[in-house]
Amino acid sequence: MIIAFIQRAIIQGIPLLFGSTGEIITEKSGNLNLGIPGIMYVGGISGVIGAFLYEQSANGNINPFLAVIIPLLSSLVGSLVMGLIYCYLTVTLKANQNVTGLALTTFGVGFGNFFGGSLIKLIGSELPSIALTQTSNCFKATLPFASKLGWFGDLFLSYSFLAYLAIIIALVTAYFFKHTRKGLHLRAVGENPATADAAGISVTNYKYIATSIGSMIAGLGGLYYVMDYACGVWSNDGFGDRGWLAIALVIFAVWKPDLSIIGSFLFGGLFIIHNYIPNLKFEQQEFIKMLPYVVTIVVLIIISLRKKKETQPPTALGLSYFREER
Partner 1 sequence: MMSKIKEPREPLFHIIKRNSIPIWKSSLIRGLSAIFALIICALVTFLLTGLNPLEVYSTMLEGALGSQRRIWALLQDMVMLLCISLAVTPAFKMKFWNIGAEGQALMGGLATASCMILFGDKMPAYLLFPLMIVTSIAAGILWALIPAFFKAYWNTNETLFTLMMNYVAIQIVTYFCYKWSNPKGSGQIGVINASSNAGWFPKLGGQAYLLNIIIVLILAAIMYVYLKYSKHGYEISVVGESQKTARYIGINVKKVIIRTMILSGALCGITGLLLVSGTDHTITRDTVEGRGFTAIMVAWLGQFNPIYMLLTSLLIVALQKGAIQISTNFGLNDSFSEIITGIIIFFIIGSEFFINYQVKFRNSENKEVKAK
The angle at the Cα of 207, spanning 205 to 210, to the nearest 5 degrees, equals 100
Q: Is 195 in the site for partner 1 (CB under 8 A)?
A: no
Q: Is 311 in the site for partner 1 (CB under 8 A)?
A: no
Q: Is 218 in the site for partner 1 (CB under 8 A)?
A: no
Q: Is 289 in the site for partner 1 (CB under 8 A)?
A: yes
Give the Cα separation of 155 and 159 in Å (integer).
Answer: 9
Rounded (10°) CA dihedral 264, 32, 26, 105: 70
Q: Is 281 in the site for partner 1 (CB under 8 A)?
A: yes
Neighbour count for residue 161 (Cβ, 10 Å): 15
Residue 26 in contact with residue 215, Cβ under 8 Å?
A: yes
Q: Is 300 in the site for partner 1 (CB under 8 A)?
A: yes
Identity of the residue, 158 or 296, whose beta carbon is nearer to partner 1 in the bound complex: 296
Scan residues 100-119 and list those touching partner 1 (CB under 8 A): 100, 102-118
Q: Is 287 in the site for partner 1 (CB under 8 A)?
A: yes
Give the Cα separation of 152 and 131 in Å (integer).
Answer: 32
Cα separations in angstroms, 176 against 169, 213, 255: 10, 13, 13
Identity of the residue, 65 or 282, whose beta carbon is nearer to partner 1 in the bound complex: 282
Q: How far is the CB of 242 from partner 1 (least distance, A)?
A: 11
Q: At what angle do helices 257-272 and 161-179 cross, to 10 degrees?
A: 140
Scan residues 36-65 and list those touching partner 1 (CB under 8 A): none
Full DSSP string of 105-147: HHHHHHHHHHHHHHHHHHHT---SS-B-HHHHHHHT---TTGG
Scan residues 147-186 and list those touching partner 1 (CB under 8 A): none
Where does this chain bind partner 1 (CB under 8 A)?
Answer: 32, 34, 80, 84-85, 88-89, 92-96, 98-100, 102-118, 121-122, 202, 204-205, 208-209, 212, 236, 241, 244, 247-248, 251, 281-283, 286-287, 289-290, 293-294, 296-297, 300-301, 304-305, 313, 317-318, 322, 324-325
